[in-house]
Structure 1
Amino acid sequence: MLRPATVDDLPNMLAWRNQDANRSVSITQHLIAAEEHAAWWSRVSQDPTRRVLMFEHSSRPLGVVTFFDHDPVARSASWGFYLDHDGTAADGTALLAWTKVMREAVAYAFAPEPDGLDVDLLEGEVLPHNESVRAMNRRLGFTEGEPYEQTVGDSTVTSIPVRLHRDDRPTRRSGKEQ
């Protein structure tokens, strides 16, 4: 289940985002300080082009989904997510949580408002070495664009843009889902 994040979720969000496994597959890989996290929340919680959602399974918070650059006129948005990697790995729910958060986030993006974003195009980016997310993206119908480099702090990071159009979503009935 996805629900709007609240200020009470900030400690979990920061702890999970700073886990080594999450930082290693993120565009921004430094440890995020509490002050930086609070400033981020102050901005995004007031930004109408953004939604920050908590992913819960069996009433337990397990991850965060962010939608940004939401443009209702163009019917597009970008997204990303991360999980409590350490917690889900320890209790054996990592694969379940990872699969469910991705499916629920994509469904949310294409669902009509007010229960979703009602977009026609969902975009994101993935690092080249994140093969598991790249494979799941393909399974969900995302296509990859040409890798590009961007400067983040003092580093250059290569990213692969991904995109999914509403009409290209696979369904079990269509046989497109693998």
Structure 2
Amino acid sequence: MRSEPEIMIEGIGALHRVDDEDQERILAWRNAPEVRAAMYTRHEISETEHAAWWTRFMSDPARQMFIAVQSGAELGVVGVEAPAGPQSASWWFYAAPGAPRGAGRRMEVLALELVFGPMARETLACEVRQENVRVITLHESFGFEKTGEIMRDTPEGPVKAVQLALTLERWAARRAGLLAEIAQTGDAS
């Protein structure tokens, strides 16, 4: 049984904080080929490697992870790193294998509402592999702007990523229209 949602938006979905019962499910999602293709680490993640990552993530008070759901369907995972203070946070997400169309847009709006609402942040940042044009375009449709590029060392070699950021002010200017569009269609084009 899921905990009470951290945030819920009628017609869009909800974010529920993960617990240890979600550990195996999230490992399966992380190992799905379509998820690994967008990650910095693309190899199949072992149970031992996942358990170590899970322990580090769950024990860090600045990090939070959520399962996104809509009408009983699990959409995927949203992670937020929000150090003390109101300045900024960073985030990541990935859809669950077989998630319904529009899952990414629903997860993005839920994350933005959480970060700029209850978490009271002023800026939200993220990184996306440069070749993942679809997700870069998704973020830009929400108002994220490219702020730079970075090379990340990964087990598979160096990877170029695009850095993006969204301010509370830019989100506030787009918020009402995007919320209405996503609630109606699941899309936010």
TM tier relative to shorter chain: 0.7 to 0.9
Distance 1:173 1:56 in 2: 22
Helix, strand or coil: the match of 2:138?
A: helix
1:33 aligns with 2:46: yes
Where do 1:7-156 residues align within 5 Å?
7-68=20-81, 70-85=82-97, 87-88=98-99, 93=100, 95-112=101-118, 117-156=119-158
| Paired residue secondary structure (2:164) | strand
CA distance in 1, matches of 2:160, 2:113: 28
Partner Cα distance (2:145, 2:49) in 1: 33
Cα distance change, pair 118–18 in 1 and its aligned pair in 2 (3 A): same
Q: State the alpha-carbon separation in 2 of the partners of residues 135 and 154 from structure 1.
A: 25
Partner of 2:4: none
Conserved in 2, the CA contact under 8 Å of 1:65 and 1:79?
Answer: yes
> Retained in 2: the 8 A contact 1:72–1:119?
no
Gaps of 5+ in 1: none
Distance in 1 separating the partners of 2:65 and 2:132: 22
**How high is the TM-score relative to the length of structure 1?**
0.86
The one-letter code of the counterpart of 1:13 is I
2:145–2:164 contact (8 Å) kept in structure 1: yes
Aligned residues: 165
Cα deviation, 1:15-44, whole Å, max 9, x if unaligned, reads 111111111111221211111111111111
Partners of 1:106 and 1:77 lie apart in 2 by: 11
Deviation string 1:87-126 (CA, Å, 9 cap, x unpaired) is 22xxxx1x221210111111111112xxxx2111111101
CA contact (8 A) 2:41 2:156 kept: no
Structure 2-normalised TM-score?
0.81
Contact 2:15 2:66 in 1 (8 A): yes
CA distance in 1, matches of 2:131, 2:108: 18
Identical residues among aligned pairs (%): 28
Which letter does structure 2 place at the counterpart of 1:167?
E
Unaligned runs of 5+ in 2: 1-13, 179-187
